[in-house]
A and B are shown apart, each in its own frame.
Chain A
Amino acid sequence: MIDTNIRLCLDCGKCTVVCPVAQRDPDFNPRLIAQKRLGRGSVDCQDETIWDCLSCYMCVERCNYLVRFPEFIHAVRSEALEEGARLQCTHGGALQSYMHLMARDELRQNRLDWLPEDIELTEGCDTVFFVGCAPYFDVVFEELEVETLEGVKSAMRLLNKAKIPFDVMDNERCCGKDLLVQGDREGFLALARLNADEFARRGVKRIITNCPECRYCLAVDYAKAVGDTGIEVLHLTQVLAPLLETGDMELGRAAIRATYQDPCALGRCSRVFDEPRRILGAVEGLGLSEMEENREKALCCGASPWVHCGAVNRRIQKDRLAQASATGATTLITACPKCKIHLTCAQRSEDDISAKIEIKDLASVAAQSLEGR
């Protein structure tokens, strides 16, 4: 908890003013949670509000002392779980269960059946494409028809097009980010160790992901948890954007009016703001208009790590969809499968007014532009 800088908190309350949850729910107050914890030195397990933080890092953006409140909250949640607090898991706890099942040492997954024949893999390559939970998401969220695997396939096709060789791991585990965020440190460590062992066994030197949370987790959280492995971890956009600039790769045409959702893990956490925009800028005919809150100030998609999702989360999602619609765009492009899931979920709710905007994965838009050449 010390490395979260929480003891530097000045009690100024800027975190609470900019927090998207606190703006919509007066009961949630990051400043007070920090002060209570610092004053009393123990966790109030009855304090339900500790589960409301979205880990969107908006507060860190504003804090003068770079207090990493989200990471402080992860530690507080961890203590609360040890004290016997119960999680309210969304989707019946299906995601937590498959993550825990994935942490079984001897598991031999069957997770690559969907791999299309046209995608070229380089067996034994020291660059690995980390698929993430997309195969599982498409099952669990079947009725939302989010098809997060399409984004993964598109990302792989783009890497093929860019002539970047890569392999995939047939027994890749979930990166564990959601378990870490919800305070299940033990579950996260189990997954992290298994993945890190597999990276070492394969001699992996570079990992490319399509999910920003996987990128941040593998690059930053793994270094803290299992030590620095020296592996370079990049999001797809970080790989493709330089190639487009040097002219080593070109995209095609897609006549759409779009707006871009900065995923928290890619934007505020990883400071990748320009690369996705450069990729979209390279698509001929794609008109990009920015939402009212963008880049460092981008509003989160309102998701929690599959726990405690309620009315406030829904309001954040609806507000974000309204901002997207207000740009006049017909397509909302995001570089994160989870943004896609959460915003689509909000769109499917009965009282939605912004159902017209189509939500697409950045990799899918870029890959489809090549077909339209």
Chain B
Amino acid sequence: MSNTEVPIVIYACNWDGLSCVEAAARVGHCYPSSVRLVRISCLSRLNQGLILRAFELGAEGVMLLGCSPGNCQYDRESDLVSREYEKARAVLRLLGMDEERLILSHIPRGDGYGFVRQITAFLDQLRAMRHAVPAGSL
């Protein structure tokens, strides 16, 4: 992976989250191939372990892409997700890794352009972090 490519993992829920990714693909919006997508049934199935595992395996950033508040197909998302999300961020803080490397994103259903815009901004942010911290500190 070249210097300009930033490996990131997106955990996308099967419903609103994935619909944005599919919408982007349908209309040909591009985003870098260093973005790895993991489809899960609902973000409530995620735990801090899976999030940290992505970092352990070399991801520089992780995006949790879920349904808009109130839209969860299983009515379980918000509390569970925010608890595990906050825990993972707290562990990143302790490790001295910028907690902004983990983001929780809610994009309206089917908004492909919104998804690409957000992923591009996230990648820019992560690239900037590379320069902000001593080389190789991740």
Contacts and interface: CB of A to CB of B under 8 A. Distances in A.
Interface of A: 89, 91-94, 96-98, 100-102, 104, 106-111, 135-136, 139-140, 142-143
A110 B83 CA distance: 21
Contacts of A96: 49
A156 to B, nearest CB: 18
A139 B90 contact: yes
A106 B136 contact: yes
Interface in B88-110: 88, 90-91, 93-97
Contact of A101 (B50, B52, B93): B52
Contact of A98 (B91, B134, B136, B137): B91
B134 A136 contact: no
Contacts of B53: 92-93, 97
A110 B47 CA distance: 22
Interface string B64-98: 00000000000000000001000110110111110
B96 A91 contact: no
Contacts, number: 70
Contacts of A109: 94-96
A144 to B, nearest CB: 12
Interface size on B, as a range, is 20 to 34
A255 B47 CA distance: 41
B87 A139 contact: yes
A101 B54 CA distance: 11
Nearest to A306: B49
Given A94-B91, A98-B94, A100-B56, 14 more contacts: A91-B48, A92-B48, A93-B52, A97-B52, A101-B55, A106-B134, A106-B137, A106-B138, A107-B95, A108-B137, A110-B93, A110-B94, A139-B90, A140-B48
B136 A135 contact: no
Contacts of B49: 89, 91-94, 96-97
Contact of B52 (A94, A106, A135, A142): A94
**Chief secondary structure at chain B's binding surface:** helix
Nearest to B88: A94
B91 A140 contact: yes
Nearest to B48: A94
A102 B52 contact: no
B45 to A, nearest CB: 10
Interface in B38-62: 47-50, 52-53, 55-56
Contact of A139 (B91, B96, B97, B138): B91
A139 B94 contact: yes
3 closest residue pairs by CB, A with B: A92-B49, A92-B47, A97-B52
Nearest to B87: A139
Nearest to A109: B96
A110 B87 contact: no
A104 B137 CA distance: 8
A169 to B, nearest CB: 13
A51 to B, nearest CB: 17
Interface centre among B55, B88, B93, B95 (most CB of A within 10 A): B95
A101 B87 contact: no
Nearest to A93: B49
20 contacts: A89-B49, A91-B48, A92-B47, A93-B49, A94-B49, A94-B88, A94-B91, A101-B55, A101-B56, A101-B95, A104-B138, A106-B137, A106-B138, A107-B95, A109-B94, A109-B95, A110-B93, A110-B96, A135-B94, A139-B94
B56 A94 contact: no
Contacts of A142: 83, 87
